[in-house]
């Protein structure tokens, strides 16, 4: 149910019915139906499943997620116990 990938809208054919656009998936280009995102604009990213753009990809959210991941553990690291704690956990659980 779920194979959907992000691609960038390269062009939109406003005369096509249903509304269609060319999507670039990192050097691979394929037409997709844009009918469910009627106000999408060239240059925006969309999530495409079986030839349909299902949702606009929110670039700000993507950035925020990555920023959050990058900050994980930093607080604990200042106290110097995150790695130790992880190591304790490893030795306890990773015995083969």
Partner 1 sequence: MADLATPDTAPVDPANWTCPAPLRDQPVVVMGHGGGGALSAELIEQVFAPAYGNPTLAALTDSAVLGLGGARLAFSTDSYVVRPLFFPGGCLGDLAVNGTVNDLAMSGARPTHLSAAFILEEGVELAVVERVARAMGDAARAAGVTIATGDTKVVESGHGDGVYVTTAGVGLVPEGVDIRPQRARPGDAVLVSGPIGLHGVAVLSVREGLEFGVEITSDTAPLADLVAAMLAVTPDLHVLRDPTRGGLGASLNEIARASGTGVRLRERAVPVPDEVANACGFLGLDPLYVANEGRLVAFVPAEHAEAVLAAMRAHPRGTGAAHIGECVADHPGMVVVATALGGTRVLDLPLGEQLPRIC
Partner 2 sequence: MKYIDEFNDPALARRLLDEIHATVTRPWALMEVCGGQTHSIIRHGIDQLLPEQVELIHGPGCPVCVTPLDVIDKALEIAARPDVVFCSFGDMLRVPGTGRDLFRVKGEGGDVRVVYSPLDAVELARRLPDRQVVFFAIGFETTAPANAMAVHQARRLGLANFSLLVSHVRVPPAIEAIMAAPACRVQGFLAAGHVCSVMGTAEYPDLAERHRVSIVVTGFEPLDILEGVRRAVHQLERGEHRVENAYPRAVRDQGNPAAVRMIEEVFEVTDRNWRGIGRIPASGWRLSDAFRAYDAEHRFDVTGIRTEEPAVCRAGDVLQGLIKPTECAAFGTACTPRTPLGATMVSNEGACAAYYLYRRMTDSPAPQGARIPREEVNPVG
For residues 10 and 64, which CB has a smaller minimum distance to partner 1 in the complex?
10
d(CA 8, CA 47): 9
Binding-site string for partner 1 from residue 4 to residue 43, where x marks contact by CB under 8 A and - marks none: -x-x--------------x--xxxxxx-------------
- Here the tokens at position 87 are 């190591």
d(CA 87, CA 10): 48
50 binds partner 1 (CB under 8 A): yes
d(CA 66, CA 23): 24
12 binds partner 2 (CB under 8 A): no
8 binds partner 2 (CB under 8 A): yes
């Amino acid at each position: 149910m779920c194979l959907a990938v992000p691609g960038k809208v390269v062009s939109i054919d406003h005369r096509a019915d249903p509304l269609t656009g060319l999507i670039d998936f990192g050097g691979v280009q394929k037409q997709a139906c844009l009918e469910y995102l009627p106000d999408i604009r060239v240059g925006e990213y969309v999530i495409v499943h079986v030839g349909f753009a299902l949702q606009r990809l929110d670039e700000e959210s993507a950035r925020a997620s990555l920023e959050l991941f990058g900050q994980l553990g930093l607080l604990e690291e200042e106290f110097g116990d995150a790695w130790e704690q992880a190591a304790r956990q490893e030795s306890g659980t990773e015995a083969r």
